[in-house]
Amino acid sequence: MNRLRLGVNIDHVATVRNARGGSTPDPMRAAEIALAAGADGITAHLREDRRHISDADMDALAVITRRRGLPLNFEMAVTEEMVAIALRHRPHASCLVAERREELTTEGGLDMVKGHNVIAPQVGRLIAAGIRVSCFIDPDLAQIAAAKSAGAQVVELHVGPYCDAIRMNAAEADHLLEKIKIAAAEAAQLGLEVHAGHGIDFESVRAIASIPELAELNIGHFLIGEAIFVGLAAAIQRMRALMDEARIGRTT
Ligand code: PXP
């Protein structure tokens, strides 16, 4: 099976920094540690309300990742403002997400079916600028087809409901995992690169990482939380090891 890339989302280092309004902990230091610990890229979500990552963070991340020759995955809502920022920075990838001001985190996938006419032209602008476009969608076949027809090269499957269900309802978790597997196979069949993200932890990563069509996982909140106890590098190295073990069908 192909090696699965790990994108580390550093948003919540900025959340902690912003709680006191100062400059620590520094998300750029987290990005440097993540890359040194084996992350294949850095993911950051510049939200409309700037609740964690700031514009200055995006500027600095663009410099760090370019210097290291590693991908920056810019998570963004499909708005004129965010598209303009992406076009200025030209990150390796833009991951288009649904964003609602009152939500605690990204709650659902982008509705590519309903939003097609608005989203497709923006996908075209980003791709024309050399940015790889990913759409963060629910593992739903109609959404996958709509992402493909909008011109996206990648879909990132929202695995949050599966990750939440593991601890609460095993039968529901099995059902949701099956949907993710079917969605991943369908997306790959259509020629899309397939990623997964949201809510992944040491437990949920095992089944997700063993889905052969997946090329990348984007993981943030759990890793930053775990870093409090074991350090960021150790948390990332453990996640990396679990991903690699899942790929070869071994468990520890
Ligand atoms: N992928 C996408 C598209 C997201 O919106 C998020 C959350 O910002 C993540 C991955 C990472 O999710 P988590 O922080 O729950 O690991």
For the chain, the structural domain boundaries read 5-251
Does the structure show a pLDDT above 70 at 252? no
Q: Quote the tokens at residue 99.
A: 């964003």
Q: List ligand 1's pocket residues with C-beta within 6 A.
A: 9, 11, 45, 75, 95, 97, 105-106, 136, 156, 197-200, 218-222
Average pLDDT of the segment spanning 212-236: 98
Q: What is the DSSP letter of 14?
A: H
Which tens digits make up the pLDDT trace of 146-174?
Answer: 999 999 999 999 999 999 999 899 999 99
Say if residue 251's pLDDT is above 80.
no
Does residue 206 have a pLDDT over 80? yes
Mean pLDDT of 18-22: 95
Both tokens assigned to 70: 């590693």
pTM given for the model: 0.96
Phi, psi at 52, each rounded to 5°: -130, -80
**Phi, psi dihedrals of residue 44, rounded to the nearest 5°:** -150, 145
| Mean pLDDT score across all residues of the chain | 95
Closest residue by Cα to residue 133 from 81, 172, 78: 78
Best residue among 11, 43, 157, 163 to mutate for probing ligand 1, ranked by most atoms within 8 Å of CB: 43
Instruction: State residue 179's pLDDT score.
Output: 98
Q: What CATH number does domain 5-251 carry, 3.20.20.70, 1.10.645.10, 3.40.50.720, 3.10.180.10?
A: 3.20.20.70
CA nearest 223: which of 21, 38, 1, 50? 38
Q: How far apart are CA 107 and CA 100, in angstroms?
A: 8
Active site annotation includes 213? no
Choose among 57, 122, 127: nearest CA to 92.
Answer: 127
pLDDT score recorded for residue 171: 95
Average pLDDT over residues 33-41: 96
pLDDT in the model for residue 234: 98
Q: What is the mean pLDDT of residues 27-51?
A: 96
**Mind listing the pLDDT tens digit for each residue in 58-106?**
999 999 999 989 999 999 999 999 999 999 999 999 999 998 766 676 6
Active site residue 52: no
